[in-house]
């Protein structure tokens, strides 16, 4: 079953595009990465999903319910961490858990204390006295304490130290294993790469890729470095399946645009001293999605 479904979802701010014709499906129990540079429409999508913004066109559903009309019912099953988290400065962690529990009509204190222990947060400190990182941890605890079916996290690792980022990843994996769905928005590929099993990439409000990480790796190009036996050989033109990025004396650096077999066959007949074939580099693919107008094949 798909927890999140959008069909031709469009949201415009006057003439400016927020998101355009976005069709997306997020399966239940998945760790779904939502990638895109700043201003690409990630937060707009989340705000439409949570009923803060009305779609200009198209449809968005969570658990089969309409995101605008049934937003109250939907949010009983959703935990949300906003990208620009602001909490009430007068409350401390315990008061926040009690208040949020009272609004949700659930006891969040036990689970909240457990999560605070995991994330090493003192719940007795007032929000106004917390550092940014501490507030982020409290925001995460408040989003997760009611054990939601769907967790929507908008750039959750911002202001968390690497240790806490790892702790969060471990916890999210545990949740996903237990059947919870995680919608993880980020502009950093590396954190999505180590956590998520499926990724959608957004650019200028449009969805330019929606695939598993394995599929994306297959699409991505391998880095190739070649060391020629002498300088004169290095001056020749590269074969069509090799996209040369740098030529430095006897060395070539480039990307493999064809198959490994093509490269090996060609290399066997060349005066090459050394050849290195890198792992499929998602960063390169990701950058291409970001930078180019046309979707890479």
Within positions 105 to 134, which residues make up the interface with other proteins, using CB under 8 A?
A: 105
Q: Are 267 and 275 in contact (CB under 8 A)?
A: yes
The residue (of 46 and 224) whose beta carbon lies closer to other proteins is 46
In angstroms, what is the C-alpha Rg of the chain? 23
Closer to other proteins by Cβ: residue 143 or 172:
143
Q: Is residue 102 at the binding interface for other proteins, with CB under 8 A as the rule? A: yes
The number of residues that bind other proteins (CB under 8 A) is 32
Q: Which of 74, 64, 80 is nearest to 1 (CA)?
A: 64
Indicate the residue among 104 and 173 with the shorter CB distance to other proteins. 104
Of 49 and 234, which CB lies nearer to other proteins in the complex structure?
49
In the complex, the smallest distance separating the C-beta of residue 43 from other proteins, rounded to whole angstroms, is 7
CB of 49 to other proteins, least distance (A): 11
Single out the segment in contact with other proteins by CB under 8 A; choices: 67-75, 173-181, 193-201, 257-265: 67-75
Residues in contact with other proteins by CB under 8 A are 43, 47, 50-54, 71-76, 78, 80, 82, 84-88, 90, 99-105, 139, 142-143
């Amino acid at each position: 079953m798909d927890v999140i479904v959008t069909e031709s979802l469009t949201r415009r701010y006057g003439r400016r595009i927020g998101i355009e014709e976005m069709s997306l499906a997020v399966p239940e129990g998945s760790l779904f990465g939502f990638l895109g540079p700043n201003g690409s429409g990630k937060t707009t999508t989340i705000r439409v999903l949570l009923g803060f913004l009305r779609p200009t066109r198209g449809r968005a559903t969570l658990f089969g319910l309409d995101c605008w009309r049934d937003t109250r019912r939907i949010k009983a099953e959703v935990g949300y961490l906003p990208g620009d988290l602001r909490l009430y400065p007068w409350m401390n962690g315990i008061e926040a858990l009690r208040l949020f529990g009272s609004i949700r009509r659930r006891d969040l204190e036990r689970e909240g204390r457990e999560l605070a222990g995991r994330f090493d947060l003192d719940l007795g400190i007032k929000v106004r006295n917390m550092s940014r990182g501490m507030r982020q941890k409290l925001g995460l605890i408040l989003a997760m304490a009611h054990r939601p079916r769907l967790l929507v996290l908008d750039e959750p690792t911002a202001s968390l130290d690497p240790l806490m980022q790892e702790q969060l990843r471990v916890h999210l994996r545990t949740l996903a294993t237990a059947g919870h769905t995680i919608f993880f928005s980020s502009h950093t590929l590396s954190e999505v790469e180590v956590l998520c099993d499926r990724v959608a990439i957004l650019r200028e409000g449009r969805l330019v890729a929606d695939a598993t990480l394995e599929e994306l790796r297959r699409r991505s190009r391998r880095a190739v470095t070649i060391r020629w036996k002498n300088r004169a050989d290095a001056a020749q033109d590269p074969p069509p399946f090799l996209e040369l990025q740098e030529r430095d004396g006897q060395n070539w650096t480039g990307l493999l645009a064809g198959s490994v077999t093509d490269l090996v066959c060609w290399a066997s007949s060349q005066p090459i001293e050394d050849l290195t074939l890198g792992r499929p580099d998602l960063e390169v693919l990701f950058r291409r999605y970001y930078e180019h107008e046309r979707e890479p094949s």
